[in-house]
């Protein structure tokens, strides 16, 4: 299996096959690292790579063996050490590499956990009908989706790493530079939109996807393509980073404190701006039509500059009517490319309203604060804080998928979220105005 291979989809009743495929991809992603890189921490708000080597199996153990089956592990200190690390807020990082287990010991821990999970299926099957975690193999869905979420985390961390510490795989697809759709704006008529779904209607969903709710959306106008690098350069050249009136007070304080003056994937060289992909630096002119990846704070400032705003979660879904979620022919996700591609290039990804790239080629920022739907309950007792820890008014919903998002997560109801000042996510945006 190559890194670009899709995992078995969730309509196949094969939890072990899906776990094995996710583990294989994890191993191949870690294989991109030079051995000297495992204790590197290229993003200060994240743990070093060695943490994630242990975190992925620890999550599996803590959900299935400990949480559902009530087992005590042979190394409970590692189960605790590697238990939590999904959000950059308040990361309690071990600053010294001597405080972490060795890579060899961490891999041995990983292998012991995987062996235990392989042997757990019959015991979990016995709990079907008596425990909702066992029903439909939900506990394995938790483990698999958590694993593939972190594939993307690892890759945007690696994109900030010294290139000398990365091993380039031999089967990378060629970059795409031509065929972008023209920039345009379309009016979406008002009407109802369905958010979320019923717990009993699907085999699995994270707690924040439930229960379903309907929202009426007034008419609005939306960009048919995401903002591209060339459009962002116009904002930068116009002094967008130096105009406090375009930024919220909190965002301006962050920009001033950090000195953030351009997208995190841009670098200024002797010959002009360069764009960082995972393994290369390209002239920005070559990728002028790729979507710009920026933080929420930057996207919001650009929208203000345009006299517009970011769309709400409901507006994105209204604009995305007719999109074939999870169909890999309709968008740049599931490792088809190892980078963005020109915006709107894929006709099959357009919604019935003509809005392109809402799914794939980068997550979509919204102005909706991450919050529960009415009637929310954290249904997984083994992971009650998955969403509730972040219903704090300080995270914003992002939707869709990026090139590094596994197809298992590309469903209409899946909700992701990040802080407004976190610039490393493969996240794009577009603007809306009243219709």
Expressed as residue numbers, the domain containing 253 is 185-434
The mean predicted confidence, pLDDT, of the chain is 93
145 and 275 fall within a common domain: no
User: In Å, what is the CA distance from 277 to each residue of 192, 288, 426?
Assistant: 39, 14, 11
Give 157 or 2, the one with higher predicted confidence. 157
Give me the number of domains the chain comprises: 2
150 and 194 fall within a common domain: no
241 and 321 fall within a common domain: yes
pLDDT digits (tens, 9 = 90+) for 1-30: 355 444 444 344 468 899 999 999 999 999
The pLDDT of residue 45: 87
90 band by pLDDT with thresholds 50, 70 and 90: very low
> Which of 106, 137, 165 is the endpoint of a domain?
165
> Which of 110, 135, 165 is the endpoint of a domain?
165
190 and 218 fall within a common domain: yes
Distance CA 14, CA 170 (A): 30
The pLDDT of residue 91: 42
212 and 112 fall within a common domain: no
The mean pLDDT value for 91-120 works out to 84
CB 8 within 8 A of CB 21: yes
pLDDT digits (tens, 9 = 90+) for 169-186: 998 999 999 999 999 999
102 and 244 fall within a common domain: no
Distance CA 210, CA 415 (A): 11
Has residue 193 been placed in a domain?
yes
The pLDDT of residue 88: 38
Distance CA 263, CA 250 (A): 18
CATH number at residue 283: 3.90.1580.10
CB 59 within 8 A of CB 146: yes
Asked whether residue 408 carries a pLDDT value surpassing 90, the answer given is yes
The mean pLDDT value for 363-386 works out to 97
Has residue 10 been placed in a domain?
no
122 and 34 fall within a common domain: yes
pLDDT digits (tens, 9 = 90+) for 127-153: 999 999 999 999 999 999 999 999 999
Give 126 or 88, the one with higher predicted confidence. 126
Asked whether residue 86 carries a pLDDT value surpassing 70, the answer given is no
pLDDT digits (tens, 9 = 90+) for 229-255: 999 999 999 999 999 999 999 999 999
Give percent of the chain above pLDDT 70.
93
213 and 335 fall within a common domain: yes
The mean pLDDT value for 71-86 works out to 84
Q: Which helix (H) or strand (E) holds 80?
A: helix 76-81
The pLDDT of residue 82: 92
Nearest to 248 by CA among 389, 369, 144, 412: 369
Asked whether residue 417 carries a pLDDT value surpassing 80, the answer given is yes
Whole-model pTM? 0.94
Angle at 214 between CA 208 and CA 217, to 5 degrees: 115
The pLDDT of residue 11: 42
The pLDDT of residue 3: 54
429 and 344 fall within a common domain: yes
97 band by pLDDT with thresholds 50, 70 and 90: low
384 and 288 fall within a common domain: yes
From first CA to last CA, the distance across the chain in angstroms is 47
CATH number at residue 146: 1.20.120.450
Distance CA 415, CA 395 (A): 12
């Amino acid at each position: 299996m190559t890194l670009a291979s899709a995992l078995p989809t969730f309509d196949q009743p094969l939890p072990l096959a899906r776990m094995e495929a996710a583990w294989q991809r994890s191993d191949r992603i870690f294989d991109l690292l030079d051995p000297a890189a495992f204790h590197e921490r290229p993003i200060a708000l994240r743990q070093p790579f060695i943490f994630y080597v242990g975190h992925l199996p620890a999550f599996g153990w803590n959900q299935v063996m400990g949480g559902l089956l009530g087992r005590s592990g042979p190394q409970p200190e590692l189960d605790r050490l590697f238990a939590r690390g999904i959000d950059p807020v308040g990361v309690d990082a071990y600053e010294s590499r001597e405080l972490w287990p060795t890579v060899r010991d961490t891999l041995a821990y990983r292998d012991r956990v995987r062996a235990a999970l392989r042997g757990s299926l019959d015991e979990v099957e016995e709990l079907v009908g008596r425990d909702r975690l066992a029903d439909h193999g939900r506990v394995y869905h938790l483990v698999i989706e958590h694993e593939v979420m972190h594939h993307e985390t690892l890759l945007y961390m690696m994109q900030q790493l010294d290139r000398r510490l990365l091993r380039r795989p031999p089967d990378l697809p060629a970059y795409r530079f031509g065929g972008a759709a023209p920039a345009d704006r379309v009016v979406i008529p008002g009407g109802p939109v369905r958010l979320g779904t019923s717990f009993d209607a699907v085999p699995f969903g994270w707690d924040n996807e439930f229960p379903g709710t309907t929202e009426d959306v007034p008419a609005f106008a939306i960009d048919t393509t995401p903002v591209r690098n060339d459009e962002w350069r116009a904002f930068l050249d116009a002094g967008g980073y130096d105009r406090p009136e375009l930024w919220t007070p909190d965002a301006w304080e962050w920009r001033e404190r950090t000195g953030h003056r351009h997208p995190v994937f841009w670098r200024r060289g002797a010959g002009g701006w360069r764009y960082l992909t995972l393994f290369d630096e390209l002239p920005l002119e070559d990728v002028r039509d790729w979507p710009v990846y920026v933080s929420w704070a930057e996207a919001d400032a650009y929208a203000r500059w345009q006299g517009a705003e970011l769309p709400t979660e409901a507006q994105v879904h209204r604009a995305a009517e007719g999109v074939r979620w999870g169909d890999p022919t309709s968008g740049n996700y599931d490792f088809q490319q190892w980078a963005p591609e020109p915006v709107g290039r894929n006709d099959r990804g357009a919604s019935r309203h003509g809005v392109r790239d809402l799914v794939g080629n980068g997550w979509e920022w919204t102005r909706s604060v991450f919050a529960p739907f009415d009637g929310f309950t954290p249904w997984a007792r083994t992971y009650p804080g998955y969403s509730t820890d972040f219903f704090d008014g300080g995270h914003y919903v992002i939707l869709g998928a990026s090139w590094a998002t596994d197809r298992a997560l590309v469903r209409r109801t899946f909700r992701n979220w990040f802080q407004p000042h976190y610039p490393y996510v493969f996240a794009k945006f577009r603007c809306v105005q009243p219709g």
